[in-house]
Amino acid sequence: MKKTWEKIGHYSKKGFSKSLDYIEIIGNSLPHPATIFALLAIAVLLISWLAHLAGVSAVHPVDGDTVAVKNLLSGDGVRWIYTNILNNFLTFPPLGYVLVVMVGIGLAEGTGLFNVLIRSLVLNSPQRLITGAVVLAGVISGLAVEAGYVVLIPLGAMIFHAIGRHPMAGLAAAFCGVSGGFGANFFIGSVDPILAGISTSAAQLIDPDLVVNPAVNYYFMIGSSIVVLLVGTWVTERIVEPRLGKYEGNTEKFTIQRLTSKENRGLKWAAITALIFVILMAYTVIPENGILRNPETGSVLHSPFFDGIIIGLMLFFFIPSLVYGLIVGTIRNDKDMMKHIIKSMSGMGSYIVLVFFAAQFVYFFNESNLGLIIAIEGAAGLRQIGFTGPALIVAFVILSAFINLFMGSASAKWAIIAPVFIPMLMLLDNPYHPGITQAAFRIGDSLTNLITPMMSYFALIVTFAQKYDEKYGIGTIISTMLPYTIILGIAWIALLVLWMVLGIPLGPDGPIYLNG
């Protein structure tokens, strides 16, 4: 009997390994994301022509008007394309949102503030809390993705190795926090404006006045961060580390560099500056006559404060980073400050190219009415089969997780998915707010980040692991991280369902339902 089970286990592992091989082959054969969007834009042109010839249309459930497909290859369509390509790019919300917030985040990275913040959090934690500290640092590092992958993941392995624990367990804990916690954080980071901008474009297919603010998932993100922290710590200590056993390698232990007195002083004053900034911002909205409240209604949710929250985020990072840089010496004059910002912006070239083509696809899709018609018919189909409620949202989480196995960029995936699913779920009898669709996507996207070779930093993770054993490869990373994906998936989906059942807002101006 034992041999039979061993054979079954052998064939199961072999089958799983083959599946992963196929995923890797398919993912590697995909074109560059920008090329994908260019091809999708061309596909929209052709489909709009064919659908127009076929007389495809739908009745809008809100105003009763008939919505027909616009042929973008007609004379009017070509004229619209020619005169709107530039405008599509310039008005695509994620472009401006990200470039503005990167001014602050770029300064925080360039001055070393993010690096020191992560080191301080991990190094100042008691050994019995070190696993949780590494996972937590990973979640927070989502504010600056590169800092998490490039700094924290190898640092997690080094810390575990230095205190006599298996380095792969430290690497896994950090990876769980950084990548598995991609959809969670205690702060609003650079990814939030990107997703919110895409969600806004999609939502305006149904409601031209609806704006999804970058903080729409903030309350849920805090709850998610706690789940990632607890699950990541438990899986590391109860499953991953016992499975790895004792580290038998001969890699030399590194002495982890502690913070210098100058870095500690800079970090303290950066924290004080951040606190003062938060107090000042609170003063603009908490009093009834707060200057950033809506001057007509007195509302906080629909007010200049949230309309301009991107500027607030940029300043939240920029001002403390400036103070830190001046104290530690990474900023000596205005040229140094600009150098850090420019360096950060110079890395945005590939993103800008991606956005150019993504914007064309999204706006072509919107102008053709294909997205609206698919949403109307899709919503009607969901109503007909009675597939609504939490089960529908859970199914969308699973779909997002599956798509993530083949396509790495979160913004690229969301730009494709959002124009279909956000309007579709907004047209149900009990319509969902775009915020819940976005939150479900973030969960699915985060879960399989840990096990897909298509994730842009996956090869780097393998390289970090091979430092401790040259035999470690893609299979090692996937098998080590799979327990996190499974258990985190169960816990995170359970949190989302509970959130929906209780009707808790996802964030400021982020109800579960549009009529909530």
Q: Return the number of other C-beta atoms located less than 10 Å from residue 487's C-beta.
A: 16
Residue 373: what pLDDT? Answer: 79
Q: Which of 133, 192, 153, 204 is nearest to 434 (CA)?
A: 204
Evaluate whether residue 510 is within a structural domain: no
Instruction: Identify the pLDDT of residue 75.
Output: 93
For residue 378, being part of any structural domain is answered with yes
Q: So what's the pLDDT on residue 9? A: 45
| Number of neighbours of residue 328 by Cβ within 10 angstroms | 21
421 belongs to a structural domain = yes
Domain that holds residue 79: 45-502
Total of domains in the chain: 1
Asked if the structure places residue 194 within a domain, the reply is yes
pLDDT at 156: 82
pTM higher than 0.85 for the full model?
no
What secondary structure letter does DSSP report for 96? H
Give the pLDDT of residue 32. Answer: 67
Residue 332: what pLDDT? 92
- The sign of the CA dihedral 414, 484, 476, 472 is positive
Walking along the chain (516 residues) 10 residues at a time, the average pLDDT comes out as 48 52 53 77 92 85 75 94 92 74 81 78 75 87 65 79 85 89 78 86 86 90 94 92 84 71 92 92 86 80 74 86 93 90 79 82 83 70 69 87 72 78 86 92 89 70 79 78 92 95 90 83
CA angle 302, 308, 310 (to 5 degrees): 125
Task: Output the pLDDT for position 33.
Answer: 64
- 490 assigned to some structural domain: yes
Is 77 inside any structural domain?
A: yes
Contact present, 170 and 156 (Cβ < 8 Å): yes
